[in-house]
Structures are given as C-alpha cells and as structure tokens.
Structure 1
Amino acid sequence: MNNFLVIGSGAREHAIVNALYSSRLDSKIYCIGNSYNPGIMKLCFEYVVGDYNSSSFVVNYANKNKIDYAIIGPENPLEAGVSDALWEANIKVVGPKKELAKIETSKAFTRNLQVDYGIPGGPKFQSFTTLNGVAEYFEELNHEFVIKFDGLAGGKGVKVYGEHIETIPDALDYCKSIIDSGGSFLIEEKFIGEEFSLMSFCDGKNIQHMPIVQDHKRAYENDSGPNTGGMGTYSDYNHSLPFLNDTDIESAKKINLLTMEALKNKTGMDYIGILYGGFMAVKNGVRLIEYNARFGDPEAMNVLSILKTDFIDICKRMVSASLDKIKIEFENKATVCKYSVPNGYPDNPVKNQIIDISDIKDKDKLFYASVNIEGDNLIETGSRTLAVISVAETIVDAERSAEDNIKRVKGPVFHRSDIGTKELVDSRKSNMDKIRC
C-alpha cells in the first residue's frame, strides 16, 4: 500500500486522481486543493483545502500522512519550489524541480535553451525589459510577430499581432503594461500553421510519449474571442491528428527528447514528470511554440481516459529512472473534451452562481474544475467550471456524445459547440493542406 498526494483541485487533477483510483495497485489517495472539488473528494481517502503553493504546508501535511509519492498538477507549486521541498523530505515527486520548471515559467529560459543546445523548431526572438528597440524589432519581423509575457499567465499572456492586437500602438501599449507591472517579455516571429500538443512521460533519462491532442484556446466559436486556459480538446484513434504527417510527429518527439536531455546537461538534474510541448505544424516542418512542465488541462483528460498501462506503475517508473522497463500503451480510440465556463469568461466572468448537473447522463465522464460546494449546491467560482470527456471510435462520434452531455449543464455558463465537429476538424486539415501546397 502506497500513499499518494495529488496537489491541485481542477479538472486535470480530477483526471489524475481518477487514474490513480482506477489502478490495480493498492493505494491511499490524499489531495490538497484550493476549493472543494466534489469529484476528487469522492475518490480520496482525505481531502484538505489549503495553500498548495506553500512548501512548508505541503511538506508538513505529507509527513503527517506518511506520503510516499506526490503528483503536482498545476504550474504555480512548481514555480514555488514545492517539488524541491518534497524531495528534500524524501518524498518522490512527479513534477520537476523549480530550476527545471523554468521550461514553463520563463519563456526566455526555454528559447535560450533551444539556442544553446541546438534544439530545432525555434523562432527568431528577442527578450526585452524596456521599450528600447521594440518598434524596430517589429519592423525587422515585418510586423509578423507575437508578444509573450515572460512568466506564468494562465495561458493568457500571449498576444498575436493581427489576432489579439490590431495596431502597432496597441502592441506597444501591451509591452508597456508588462514593463509597468515589473515584468519582461519576448517578441518572437509569428508562425503560420496548426497547433498541437505532445505530452511525454519523463524520468530524466528515458521518455515515452502520449497521443497527440489539439487544444482550442480561443473563448468563442470559430476560434474567435480572447485566449483562455483551454475550451476543449480532441485526439484521434491513431494518436495523431488528421492534419499531421508521420514526419511532423517524429519531429515533435525528437524535440521533446532533446529538451529533456538539454535540461539535464544545463542543470545537472533529472527532469521527472510530464513534459508538454506546444507545437505548430508549418509549411516546412514543425515549430515549438512553448513548453509546459505538467499535464495540460484539458489534455490530461483526453490521454488519461484512454491510458491502458497502470498509471501508478508509470508514476513509480518516472521517479525511479526506469521508464524503459515498461511499454506505455493507450487505446486506439478518439476523444473529445469540452469545457463549460461561466458567462463572461475569461475577462469578466460571473462568480458564485449555482450550477445544476442533474441532467448529465454519464457523470463518470464529468470532471469538476473551478467549483466549490456550499451546502447541497455546486457553485462555480469564476474560471472554467467543469468538463466532459467522451471516448469513441471516431472524433465525430466522440464529439456528439460530449456535446450531448455538456449542453445539459444548467446555469449561467457557455461552451464551444464546434470543438471536435467534422466541420472544424476538416477545416484544420484544409488549412494545413493550403499552407503546404
């Protein structure tokens, strides 16, 4: 019997806890969340609400409950050094140490790592802490640029010129707002293509890859509106996507491997946990957009829903540098995940409203996110509220089932009905065909 501690209380962590709970291996599951997630609470031996970014709080709780393994869901505890503190307390952690987590927490760190270690797929870029030279660099990139806040921003710190920002004065204003808040930023060349996510299990020496997923960051139908943490995702039965070819997939896998190895060479430490590459397929190959140092949300729900290999076994292999001793397998099924979010999300969401899920047919495919429990009521707390996942033979069939469930959520919420539809998936392939013709 092993004691597992999951840190975090969103839909991603609900999926992680569900994967632990489904294991054939005996375990006790504990969780530290920042609110009461009813889905996680139902599966845990103990659930507490506390500051999971506090190393002392987490370590004290872990020691008190004789925790053997910890899994860190969100990025903020990684940046706060919670993984380092747990390892120092002799608790094995799925989630990289603070220095390694810079692969997500610092855009400049990632781009410089690519340059220093010859990792392909990077853009032209420059880092800035003032406005000096910014307008000139816009010109150098022929106004085909992206501005990236150099830090954590919940998936909302990236502004693409021509999409989120329409004029050069607006671009300069955004840069100034970052500087005024004490931050820094990167300006990168803009890639044209289709995005996809490749997450990999890492033990610092070995790497095994998960099925490829496509996320949808924009809030509204047809990829319009502001960026969000992710409104939904889909994956295909063959673990690729209709707009990708075999060379694209192998290129992305190679970049993830080279990055894990470069992190070891740069820091002297093993990268243990999930390495999540955000990629773009372009006219002549694959480019790296960014890295995350943990499971994606929603992507975790897609891949863990079709994982055949025991998740506890995978976790134990990651922390013992023995991933090469198992073959991680996934079902050959398609998945679609859709989020229900509060009206006004992401910029001005309604908060603390009652959500009714009584009409949802398959509650086993429901993952709770930014919610709380007050009496007998489920309350949305202002961010993404809950997600449904559907698994089927095809993306189209999975989408129909996911849509049928998510539309049954009652309350001041909305979702993107187009994610996973034949029309949207076909448009992605058509767009990629045009780019590569």
Structure 2
Amino acid sequence: MKVLLIGGGGREHAIADAIARSPDAELYCLMSRKNPGIARLSSGFRIASETDVDAVREYAQQCGAEYAVVGPEAPLAAGVVDALEEEGVPTLGPRRAAARIETDKAWARTFMREAHIAGCPPHHICTTPSEIREVVESLGDVAVKPAGLTGGKGVKVMGEHLSDADEVYRYAVSLLPEHGAVVMEKRLVGEEFTVQAFCDGNTLAFSPAVQDHKRAYEGDVGPNTGGMGSYSDADHLLPFLDREEYEQACSIMRDTIDAMRERMGVPYVGILYGQFILTAEGVFVVEYNARFGDPEAMNVLPLLRTPFTDVLASCVEGRLSRLDVQFEHMATVCKYVVPKGYPESPLSDAPIEVADVNDALLFYSSVYEKEGVVYTTSSRAAAVVGIAHTIEEAEAKAERAILGIRGALYHRRDIGTPELIRRRVEHMRALRGA
C-alpha cells in the first residue's frame, strides 16, 4: 500500500513511524523541510509547501499514492484533502468544510451551541471593541481565543497570561484585524486532558487519554508553547481522571461527529482531537482539533497495536466499526527539547547531535538536515518518548534519553515526575471537595 504523508514535524514523524511499522506500507512524504527521521522511513519524499495544493496533487500522482494522511492543520484549512480526493486518493483527514471545527473557533462554538453539544462553556463571539468591553465586564474572569489558527499559542487567560480587565481588553482587540472575531469564554478551573480518536464519519476509535504541558518552564510557569511534553497512563486514563469522566469526553465527541454529519451533510473522516478540562462541575470542551496533537500523537501512536494502514483504510472506506482498534496498556512520557531561549527569543540554525537515546523513542520536529548535519529552527526541535509499565518508569527512560541529545537546548525535567502528577491529583481532589 503506497501512502503519502503530508507534513514534516514531530507529529508527522510519529505518524510515519506508525505507517512504517505496518507490514504492507510503502511511505512517501511531502514536507516543507527535510525531517531526517521521516526521510529515513520514506521510499521517497518531496520538499514543498504543505499548503501548496498543486504540489501535493502532482506528487501524489508521481508517487502513485493509493492513500494519503494529512498531519498538520494548515493543509486541512487549505483544502488539501478535498484536492487529493478529487484526484481519487482517499485521505485520512477531514475536508475543509469539516476541518472548521478547528480552523474557525467562532464557528465551532456556534455549532456546538446550536447542536446542543454537552460541555460547551459560557461564551460570546465578539467582532467589535465595544462587544469585547461588554463581555469583559459581564463575565469577569475570561479566556480569550482568536477565531483562527495560531499554532496553539493564541489563547490567553485572565489571571495567568493577562493580569486584569484592561489587559484582557487590549489583547482581545489586538486580535480583531487578523482574525475578524474573538471568542470570549468564561474561565474554567480544573485539569486539562486530551482524547484523540480515529473517525470514519460514523464510528470513533478512541486512544488513551493524554495530558499536555503548554507552559514553557518547569513548575507550569512562563508563556504558552505548542507543548513541552505530555504523559499517558497504562490504564488509558490519567491519575486525576476516572473511567466515567473519560467516557463522558468520548460521548461528547460522538455527539459532535453525529451532529456534523446530520447538520452539515459532510461526514467527518480523519482524526478528532478533543481538548477537555475536568472541573468541579464536570467535563467541558476547551477546543477541538482536526488532527493528532503534537506532542500527544507521540504518546498514543507508538502504543497502536492494530496496523496503521488497516485503520487508515477502514476510516476512509467507512468500515471502522468492523475493526478492533487496540492500544498497548503501557504508560508513556514525552519530553521535548527546544532551542535555548524558546519561545520568546529562540536560538535558530544551531547544530544538534543525537548520540544515543537508549531504549526510548526519538521523534524529530522543527529541524532541518543539511549535508548530514541536523539544525534547529526557532521552534521545538525533537522529542523523546519513554514507554514502560508505570509513568514513573517511563519518565526515567525519557530523562535518560535526553542525555543523548547534545546542543544548545532546553527541556522541562518535571514532566511526568511524581511531584508534578501529585499536584494534579491534589488539585482535582480539592476542586471536587469544594
């Protein structure tokens, strides 16, 4: 089976690895820069913009792609899936209309409200400064979300990133020229978690729950990033999340897919990523993404026991209900190494060297290879994933693996540690008690 992968980041390296483990797969990739990990797994690759629809269509024809997988959100927004399917290449990824669940947060909230999807927090969609001022005064504590794509870094919360109502107002108004609208939501207090699922438009196959860490520095402080690391547990839950709460999140995702099919007439085929927050009042939807998370893909895809190509074919052919998609019952800890100074003043074009990551996995992200040397860009460089029977053992594997990566790099040592997880558990215990 010839599979074309669109994208060249850490998420796509994890997808490429899953495809390559399938016994019948022949992998090709189109990426904007040469990811050395993906290149080594591929029978061929092309360097081109991942949003260049014509380049994608041409390379799909050249390599004889029978199926395709779109990794990042930008090609989804550009209509790459639509173009590939018009060329007769079934693709794992939602068409542009369905991808609005991620690419237009204002549309997504309106859709959830009108479809009566559970877990939709109180919110207002503002298009003028006066509307923003009114909402800030009425809601008090708010989260501010740009309507469009921002690479996971645009959301700011009062009391965490924004100090007072005036700063909230100024930030929200600054988003209007580029995005046209801003979503103002009631600030929710709790613990965030992610559930990702394969989807064929009717059936969802859920992966283990994962918790990401957005803040740049240890102790969960500093600016938001694309994600500094993440962990999952062997029971597919999380230490602060029970089975009923996990199932509640899955039910919300099922209702969302059903409503999209029935209301839009467009089946959602691809990956649905649900970002949730567990509060004292229950589970709420923070946002949806129309693709795997980065780094969350690196936690779940290495655990996938079912061949990825079987899942891919079942999704695009509408027969996922007949496939038993299974994940190993192991714990994972993913840690990113990032350029020194990231995210505010990152050192770019600096060489890195990978000596030995021992018994962990390595996924290259925002790097490029030139004359056999791997260099950083201004974003996250590479991730290591430890897999073991417990989170503590997986964290130790990941931390040892970091020692095998040399360069002007930084990572959060606290991700997956007993102390950080204990704080999460105590936080939820206090909220439930209150």
State whether TM-score is above 0.5: yes
The whole-number CA distance in structure 1 between the counterparts of 2:291 and 2:179 is 26
Contact kept? 2:196, 2:271, Cα under 8 Å:
yes
Residue from 365, 371, 382 that aligns with 1:369? 365
For residue 356 of structure 1, give the secondary structure of its aligned residue in structure 2: strand
Deviations 1:198-255 (A, max 9, x none): 0011000111111000000111111101111111010000000010122211110001
Residue from 62, 84, 87 that aligns with 2:85? 87
Report what 2:197 is aligned to.
Answer: 200
How far does residue 171 in structure 1 lie from its aligned partner after superposition?
Answer: 1.3
The whole-number CA distance in structure 2 between the counterparts of 1:123 and 1:370 is 34
Report what 1:76 is aligned to.
Answer: 74
Contact kept? 2:194, 2:209, Cα under 8 Å:
yes
The whole-number CA distance in structure 2 between the counterparts of 1:407 and 1:76 is 33
How far does residue 27 in structure 1 lie from its aligned partner after superposition?
Answer: 2.4
Report what 2:243 is aligned to.
Answer: 246
Report what 1:408 is aligned to.
Answer: 404
How far does residue 182 in structure 1 lie from its aligned partner after superposition?
Answer: 5.2
Deviations 1:14-37 (A, max 9, x none): 11111111112x221100011111
Deviations 1:45-91 (A, max 9, x none): 00111011011110111012211101000000000000001111111
Report what 1:287 is aligned to.
Answer: 284
For residue 237 of structure 1, give the secondary structure of its aligned residue in structure 2: coil
How far does residue 105 in structure 1 lie from its aligned partner after superposition?
Answer: 0.4
The whole-number CA distance in structure 1 between the counterparts of 2:224 and 2:372 is 33
The whole-number CA distance in structure 2 between the counterparts of 1:172 and 1:115 is 24
Report what 1:136 is aligned to.
Answer: 134
Specify the code of the residue in structure 2 equivalent to 1:306: L
Distance 1:307 1:109, change over 3 A: same
Give % identity: 43
How far does residue 361 in structure 1 lie from its aligned partner after superposition?
Answer: 2.7
Determine if the alignment matches structure 1 residue 180 to structure 2 residue 177: yes
Determine if the alignment matches structure 1 residue 265 to structure 2 residue 230: no
How far does residue 346 in structure 1 lie from its aligned partner after superposition?
Answer: 1.5
The whole-number CA distance in structure 1 between the counterparts of 2:187 and 2:416 is 26
For residue 335 of structure 1, give the secondary structure of its aligned residue in structure 2: strand
Deviations 1:153-203 (A, max 9, x none): 000110100001102222122122112335321100011100000001100
Report what 2:298 is aligned to.
Answer: 301
The whole-number CA distance in structure 1 between the counterparts of 2:29 and 2:292 is 17
Specify the code of the residue in structure 1 equivalent to 2:395: E
For residue 406 of structure 2, give the secondary structure of its aligned residue in structure 1: coil
For residue 61 of structure 1, give the secondary structure of its aligned residue in structure 2: helix
Report what 1:22 is aligned to.
Answer: 21
How far does residue 407 in structure 1 lie from its aligned partner after superposition?
Answer: 3.5
Report what 2:387 is aligned to.
Answer: 391
Specify the code of the residue in structure 1 equivalent to 2:100: K
Residue from 22, 30, 33 that aligns with 1:32? 30
Deviations 1:395-418 (A, max 9, x none): 000001101112332211100000
Of residues 68-77 and 109-118 in structure 1, the stretch that sits farther from structure 2 once superposed is: 109-118
How far does residue 267 in structure 1 lie from its aligned partner after superposition?
Answer: 1.7
Specify the code of the residue in structure 1 equivalent to 2:5: V
Contact kept? 2:14, 2:363, Cα under 8 Å:
yes
Contact kept? 2:147, 2:179, Cα under 8 Å:
no
For residue 149 of structure 2, give the secondary structure of its aligned residue in structure 1: coil
Specify the code of the residue in structure 1 equivalent to 2:272: L
How many corresponding residue pairs? 433
The whole-number CA distance in structure 2 between the counterparts of 1:219 and 1:183 is 28
The whole-number CA distance in structure 1 between the counterparts of 2:357 and 2:121 is 44
The whole-number CA distance in structure 1 between the counterparts of 2:316 and 2:234 is 29
How far does residue 109 in structure 1 lie from its aligned partner after superposition?
Answer: 1.3
Residue from 323, 327, 330 that aligns with 1:330? 327
Residue from 152, 163, 169 that aligns with 1:166? 163
For residue 338 of structure 1, give the secondary structure of its aligned residue in structure 2: strand
How far does residue 359 in structure 1 lie from its aligned partner after superposition?
Answer: 4.3
Residue from 64, 67, 82 that aligns with 1:66? 64
The whole-number CA distance in structure 2 between the counterparts of 1:250 and 1:372 is 40
The whole-number CA distance in structure 2 between the counterparts of 1:300 and 1:217 is 15
Specify the code of the residue in structure 1 equivalent to 2:17: N
Determine if the alignment matches structure 1 residue 214 to structure 2 residue 211: yes
The whole-number CA distance in structure 1 between the counterparts of 2:252 and 2:218 is 31
Q: TM-score, normalised by structure 2?
A: 0.98
For residue 145 of structure 2, give the secondary structure of its aligned residue in structure 1: strand
| Structural RMSD (CA) | 1.1
How far does residue 136 in structure 1 lie from its aligned partner after superposition?
Answer: 2.2
Specify the code of the residue in structure 2 equivalent to 1:221: E
Residue from 312, 316, 330 that aligns with 1:319? 316
For residue 148 of structure 1, give the secondary structure of its aligned residue in structure 2: strand
The whole-number CA distance in structure 2 between the counterparts of 1:12 and 1:315 is 16
The whole-number CA distance in structure 2 between the counterparts of 1:266 and 1:412 is 50
Residue from 394, 416, 422 that aligns with 1:420? 416
Specify the code of the residue in structure 1 equivalent to 2:416: G
The whole-number CA distance in structure 2 between the counterparts of 1:182 and 1:300 is 28
How far does residue 133 in structure 1 lie from its aligned partner after superposition?
Answer: 2.6
Distance 1:91 1:347, change over 3 A: same
Report what 2:273 is aligned to.
Answer: 276
The whole-number CA distance in structure 2 between the counterparts of 1:376 and 1:203 is 40
Specify the code of the residue in structure 2 equivalent to 1:4: V
For residue 19 of structure 2, give the secondary structure of its aligned residue in structure 1: helix
